[in-house]
Amino acid sequence: MSRRAFRSPLPAYIVAGLICVWTAYGADWPHYRGPDYNGISTEKNLNFGNMSELWKANVDTGFSSLAVVRGLLYTMGNRDGTDVVHCRNAENGDAVWSYSYPCKLDPNMYEGGPNATPTVSGGKVYTVSKEGHLLCFDAKTGKKHWERNAVRDFGASRPAWGFSGSATVIGDAVIFNVGPAGLALHKDTGETLWSSGSGISGYATPVPYSFRDEVAVVIFGAERLNGARVVDGKSLWSHKWKTDYEVNAADPVVFGNYVFLSSGYGKGCAVVDVGGAEPVALWTNKEIRNHFSSSVLWRGHVYGFDGNANRRSRLVCATSAAGAVKWQTEDVGFGSVILADGRLIMLNEGGELVVATATQDGYREVARKHILKGKCWTAPALSNGRIYARAAGGDLVCIDVRMPENEGAK
């Protein structure tokens, strides 16, 4: 593993509360899976009674989710063999800036286009293309600061469905799921900090956490779940997890010294204790088989979709302690899920926005509304009382779930 000098990313007194400090700004959704990389928003007093459409736009073909920071929205799409990074006004959908570069649509058993979501941090935007373009832009103007390429510069093997993990910024490092156990570049210059070498990458986004008072990151590789030290990429632990076609795509969920991981194609899920000398799987089963849609963990229970895309799927609630199923339903179909204010906010592949109470006592639907046409495999985002969702063809919609002022003041 090659390494270069790296300045310590965080003061020691911050490390203990690592998972809580990644939020960029109050109600922003700065990267894939939200402020704490777990699909959960801290927003409250949301109104799911109306869910009215505020605006709609088109951002080209793709499966990139949305990042929203300081009133600007970022996503990616592909138009005529060209990737486009979009920046739009989050209030009205108006275009602010865009940046394009040649990149294949690559519709491999699906519509194709970018899979990764822009990451916004420190006034910069970081993006990843299916072909391995690693780019950094000014968040306000779209000016390109630097560019690297995972294949050309690091010899990484392109996964079958393209590079898909979004960038993760920790301290001075921007970390990518490139190579068998990650790649770190300097966030300001693109200079190589460390690399795990050539090899096939996983599809998930790196997740930050604290390991024995060290700043660390969990990287779900093509064949293993890896824990790496951010300062130099040193392997802290590794746990074998092989899935058919090397599709380890759903983001791991870190809670304390434990990691929930799941994959599809009949593989299943597990909770791994990574706090000891060696990682140990506390339990494994096949009750939640995330294809690429990540699960959320709330009050000791995991909520996630079991089943592959385009097939019958079920939403499952299981205990994180033992993996015991509390309830399951096929009422939602296949989809993606985030959580806010004790509610599961789901977008199914048919374009229905479905809201249910996050409780172990059974499936309790709160609201349902058809908001998009076409295939919807992309997780929605929530920022400042608005849900942003997109379809494969590029239709992007903003849904208002703010509480009326007179009610919110009560």
What kind of architecture, by CATH, is found in domain 9-408? 7 Propeller (2.130)
Burial label, 391 (beta-carbon count in 10 A; 0-12, 13-18, 19+): buried
Averaged pLDDT, 19-31: 60
Phi, psi of 245 (to 5 degrees): 65, 15
Beta strand ranges found along 178-257 (DSSP E) = 183-186, 192-195, 199-200, 207-211, 214-220, 224-229, 235-240, 253-255
Q: What percent of the chain has pLDDT over 90?
A: 89
| Amino acid 25: pLDDT | 34
Contacts of 97 (CB under 8 A, 6+ apart): 87, 141, 142
| Amino acid 331: pLDDT | 96
CA distances from 128 to 66, 84, 353 (A): 14, 11, 27
Distance CA 392, CA 7 (A): 40
Task: Identify any residues that bridge with 195 across adjacent strands, giving them in sequence order.
Answer: 2, 183
Burial label, 195 (beta-carbon count in 10 A; 0-12, 13-18, 19+): buried
Task: Identify the CA nearest to 207 among candidates 241, 162, 166.
Answer: 166
| Amino acid 407: pLDDT | 59
pLDDT at 199 over 80: yes
What's the chain's length in residues? 410
pLDDT digits (tens, 9 = 90+) for 146-169: 999 999 999 999 999 999 999 999
pTM tops 0.75, yes or no: yes
Q: How many CB atoms lie within 10 A of CB 327?
A: 17
Chain mean pLDDT for the chain? 92
Cβ atoms of 126 and 75 within 8 Å: the answer is no
| Amino acid 8: pLDDT | 38
Distance CA 34, CA 149 (A): 26
pLDDT at 312 over 70: yes
